[in-house]
Amino acid sequence: MDLVLIILLLIVGIILIIKAGDIFVEAAVWFAGVSRIPKFIIGATVVSLATTLPEIVVSAIAAFQGNVDMSTGNAIGSVIVNTGLIMGLSIAFIPIAMKRKGFLEKVVFCGVSILLFGAFALGGSFKLWQVLVLLAIAVMFTLENVRSGSKNRKENHEEIIEFDKRKFYINIVKFVLGTAGIFFGARLLIDNATELANFLNVPQRVIAITTVALGTSLPELATAITAIRKKGTALSLGNIIGANIANIALVIPVSAFIYGGSLPIEPMNGIIDSGVAILLLLVAALPTLIRKKFSSWQGIALISIYLIYIAYIFFV
């Protein structure tokens, strides 16, 4: 296949995933709201899950096709992109204060998830009990989000969404189209990412960690760029850490279940990738927890580590 066509179809797949994901989330939130589910629960479950939906679907389809390097590479690669590039850009341009308590909880969950990823990779595959451990972390993190959301909510200001028959049918269509669009976009992304890897004669893992992971993280990147342009704090850096937890604790288990057995991973790759992810987390978190704010130098350091890592996996 022609390189230009491969890249074009890959871009179409990424755009389709992002746009379809937005439509899916709008419909899911509407249905949850009509069901009188409190907003804090919707935010902690439906919305939080939706931010990781592109990574989940892409990795799951890759696992179904037997492209395990693409599946695991996208999971850990998204963590590295989120922390190194997206958080790095945000912090470099907008150093902001951060409440220690809520941020610390996310950092602990994220750190444990990354360390377990690296430890489990030593065995050459993610076994059933290991997958269940990761899934338990995802459940505990979701419950913690629900607990903290319940504690902080203001019931008197919750908007009640009334049932409307016309909106019901519209959201049914949006839900179906969003779901179909995500899966079709994911297939385009995976198939053409595989073709790109073959064309460039590089391992699928390299394309997964760079192109695919960046593609599925574009919504977060777009939010970061908007926040930088408006010189505001629209981007919640704590939520990026939260997305990283889901990228490991949800994406790996779902991929393993779809694969139908122990999910293989090259031990050395798992150690290197998780090591870089932990390094990025430490640079982002430790100074912030001590000083209760982010500094520009942290952002520059995160971007530098990310670029060095990308150069390493391409040329070493």
CA-CA-CA-CA dihedral for 198, 199, 201, 202, to nearest 10 = -70
What average pLDDT score do residues 193-203 get? 86
State the pLDDT confidence band at 154, using cuts at 50, 70 and 90: low
Q: Is pLDDT above 70 for 284? A: yes
What are the extents of the domains in the chain?
Answer: 3-152+165-315
Which of 107-116, 150-159, 200-209 has the highest average model confidence (pLDDT)? Answer: 107-116
pTM comes to 0.85
What average pLDDT score do residues 159-166 get? 70
Q: Is pLDDT above 90 for 117? A: yes
What average pLDDT score do residues 42-57 get? 73
User: Which of 23-27, 82-86, 94-98, 209-213 is predicted least confidently?
Assistant: 94-98
Q: Is pLDDT above 90 for 111? A: yes
Query: b/e per residue, 73-85, with b = 16+ CB within 10 A?
Result: bbbbbbbbbbbbb
State the pLDDT confidence band at 8, using cuts at 50, 70 and 90: very high
pLDDT score for 100: 74
Phi and psi of 52, rounded to 5°? Answer: -105, 0
pLDDT score for 235: 47
The class of domain 3-152+165-315 in CATH terms is mainly alpha
